[in-house]
Amino acid sequence: ISEAVAFLTEKNAKVPQQDEATYYQTAQITNDRYISVGSQADTNVIDLTGDDKDDLQRAIALSLEESNRAFRETGITDEEQAISRVLEASIAENKASLKRTHTEVWSDSPNPHDRKRQENCPVGLKNVGNTCWFSAVIQSLFNLLEFQRLVLHYSPPARMQDLPRNQKEHRNLPFMQELRHLFSLLVGSKRKYVDPSRAVEILKDAFKSSESQQVSFCHLHTIIEWGEKPKNPMVDLFYGRFLAVGVLEGKKFENTEMFGQYPLQVNGFKDLHECLEAAMIEGEIESLHSTENSAKSGQEHWFTELPPVLTFELSRFEFNQTLGRPEKIHNKLEFPSMLYMDRYMDRNRDITRIKREEIRRLKEHLTILQQRLERYLSYGSGPKRFPLADVLQYAMEFASSKPVCTSPLEDVDTTALPGGTTAQLPPPHRGAAQQQQRVSIHKPFTQSRVPPDLPMHPAPRHITEEELRVLEGCLHRWRSEVENDTRDLQASISRIHRTIELMYSDKSMMQVPYRLHAVLVHEGQANAGHYWAYIFDPHQQQWMKYNDISVTKSSWEELVRDSFGGYRNASAYCLMYIDDKKPFLIEEEFDKETGQMLSGLDKLPPDLKEYVEADNKLFVREMEEWDTLQARKLQQEKLALAAASVAHDLEFAQEDTPPERDYRLQHVIVYFIHNQAPKKIVERTLLMQFADRNLGFDERCKSIMKVARAKLELIKPDEVNMEEYEMWHQDYRKFRDTTVFLLIGLELFLKKSYVEALMYLIFAYQYNKELLAKGPYRGHDEELIAHYRRECLLKLNEHAAVLFETGEETEVNAGLSIMNELVVACIPLLLVDEMEEKDMVAVEDMRNRWCSYLGQEMEPNLQEKLTDFLPKLLDCSTEIKSFHDPPKLPSYSTLELCERYGQVMTSLTLSRTPADGR
């Protein structure tokens, strides 16, 4: 902890490596003020490891003081400083080749057609090493069309006297130029996604200078030079002002301050307005409104000028004093799509104060009513509470039950217990400890059913008609009174809630509307995570999800699920609202002469248009070269295989297939001969190979092609059954697909990616079984595939059990998800063929692993989850559950397929995990 604080407070601190880099990449992104103590502070290092909350408050105060001082001196806010440190850590982590924590792993497809932009689809940004947060912010800013125009039409200084005079300004120019290039590609590129590496590299170089430690992506005005312009348009877009009115040790003060990204605490609040209300009032504020001089301190914030783009930073980290580390808060926090800021404006100060006082009074009354209601809904003096109306109803049911004249013990035959044994019930006078020994333990899977003749409910032993009549009358009257009181309290509480909700709904307090433009989301914990953004497209009236290279249509419902928190391990960390009365922020540009809306390359200045056109030409050339290369490869492969097949088909066909070199993959003819295909089928297939027009390289090849075509014409239609011919070729295609499923599954298995490997091995086994039904050489070794499919399930089962044993809610749910979605779903596949004894043994091992928990003590919630899950695991049904469509297979050339298949088979031998001893 001391090293971490030292890093945060030292001017020339070194960037942390390895695990530290991962921590700063995620923890600092949201600028939690008590984690980031202020990069400018040289002294007053505060110990955050103790339990004293005053230290934490002083840390927050110091951070605020330092951030205000830093902004006044440099024009750079603490948000920018925090993001600067994040980028440093991100670059350091990339340099150290740390793996990305998000489960989605992708790389550039070698086929440029896979990287081609779909018509009218936005362009994505490639993740160049833990830069998903960079992509989310850049896309949010790019889709602010006014900001986009400012960047695209930025012009560097043209005169010598306007050139930068210091190192910081020298850094800004190349970065701004690169940002223009990046934005222009996002406008007009033919690529599905573009690479921002150059912009990141420029920033990385900037970090080598102690003078340039802070860089902001949320407020890029700090890196844009606007020549002699008296005002900076970026400041106008993102920065506003607020008035701080307060009392410090009895003395009143009033200061105007500038703000950019406005920080809001999340913990303890249910919606955005509650966060804002808390942020606008700090400390004891009563003395502000009184004439008496007191020693109390506090302040209120009132916005005097709001920016067109209003950004809120949601602080979702808190420091765990016990564990000595920050933790991510994913509590639910609602925010509206339309936000009215009137109540926070300085011009509405008086009316807002009146309304706040009224809300405070209503909430006090609401608290009293809720306490009274709670006494009705949770009645009782013991640890267990019940609704009072239900208690009275139960009493009425007991009194109204038919009286019984015998003791409940007299109805039980105590001489014969289940299982044929005899015993005596302990007499009432024996000690409690002795009786407790005979109390049976509840076993959810072996509990006996209740005897049918046992009375359903206890009943009074003796009660007269008069007693019953009086008691029923009282209980009925009391229950009615309780129900009426409960309804009245609930109605009053609802009315107060509604009154509070409508407190600011009059038109005078709805004059400053801000519409939600973008939501930046973080998924994960303080030490790892992934970032993406939801951005509203006003022209399509559609929410879009920007997730690195992937840009897809989304919905408000999906945004709510991922952003509010409380649903899964994801929540919003930044909200970007735009002034709904300033449509120029998101309006498209129109041609002044024609009046037509500008789109694509027409939006760009001449230099950027030329830049994008040049890049598009390179991409088109790349696709053309790819097509030419693939055509040449295909021709060469067909010629080589056709020639080789003539010389070696019979030789290969007579040999047993070694595991690492399956000759059947090298040519269809080998497969046919191995499987004793009809001679006419083999002959026609061979002639079709030589008759392919792509083999016409030279005169010699052309002469062979002509001979093959002539022979094909001599074959009469009734000599070859074309349905049978097509069937054999379909089998060979299925054999190749089975091979691809198998080799990808085995590659993933060797990498211990068992979840991904399982699906490939399942379909490999299924396809292979269908082939082997037609002949022993139609497919691969069935026991080999069965072994690795079985091993995959066993390893997933063990991993899920280990997660369950942690007892942590997130880990337990993840383990049960693996079991329900993968293991349980696959067990029928192992049981359907009872001849495979090893599969049966594996199923029993998996079931025994979970049944072993039955006799163990565990928390009630774990016991409940286990009780709910076990019947699914123990289901003996062999009904095969439907799986999704098989994974999409890549297209391999014959050479690539043979090489990869040989490599994976060799790796299996070297890894010493052979199937069934082979």
Rounded to 10 degrees, the C-alpha dihedral 508/510/512/516 comes to: 180
pLDDT block averages, 10 residues each, the chain of length 918: 47 40 34 31 35 42 45 47 48 40 55 88 85 83 90 73 55 78 92 87 60 38 42 81 87 89 90 92 62 69 94 84 77 93 93 92 94 91 87 89 70 52 46 44 45 66 87 92 94 94 90 95 79 92 91 93 85 93 86 76 89 93 91 76 58 58 87 89 87 71 82 81 90 93 92 91 91 90 91 93 90 91 86 74 88 83 86 74 77 88 86 49
The CA distance from 42 to 674, in Å, is: 79
522 is catalytic: yes
Extents of the domains making up the chain: 112-345+512-603, 663-912
Q: What is the pLDDT of residue 431?
A: 45
Residues in CB range of 139: below 8 A, 6 or more apart: 122, 125, 533, 535, 546
Q: What is the pLDDT of residue 153?
A: 87
- The alpha carbon dihedral of 247, 248, 252, 258 has a sign of negative
- 851 an active-site residue? no
The type of residue at 370 is Q
CA distance 850 to 839: 17
pLDDT on residue 377: 92
* Tokens matching residue 613: 């056109």
* CA nearest neighbour of 514 among 581, 459, 455, 575: 581
Instruction: State in words which class domain 112-345+512-603 has.
Output: alpha beta
The helix/strand/coil state of 300 is strand
Q: Under DSSP, is residue 350 helix (H, G, I), strand (E, B) or coil?
A: helix
Q: What is the DSSP string of 505-534?
A: -SGGG-SSEEEEEEEEEEEEETTEEEEEEE
User: Contact at 8 Å (CB) between 193 and 126?
Assistant: yes
Global pTM?
0.56
**CA-CA distance, 532 to 541, in Å (whole number)?**
20
Token representation of residue 353? 């104060």
Provide Rg for the chain, Cα atoms: 37
Choose the catalytic residue: 181, 330, 522, 787: 522
Residues belonging to the chain? 918
Give the H or E element holding residue 918. Answer: none
Q: DSSP 3-state assignment of 127?
A: coil
Strand boundaries in 580-662, DSSP class E: none
Among residues 102, 132, 218, 787, the one annotated as catalytic is 132
Distance, in Å, from the CA atom of 844 to the CA atom of 868, rounded to the nearest integer, reads 19
Amino acid letter, 654: Q
Answer yes or no: 132 catalytic. yes
**What are the tokens at 275?**
């966060």
- Which ranges of 378-522 does DSSP label H, i.e. alpha helix? 388-400, 432-437, 465-501
The pLDDT, as a whole number, for residue 441 is 45
Burial class of residue 28 in the structure, from the number of CB atoms within 10 Å of its CB (0-12 exposed, 13-18 middle, 19+ buried):
buried
Catalytically annotated residue among 530, 667, 674, 787: 530
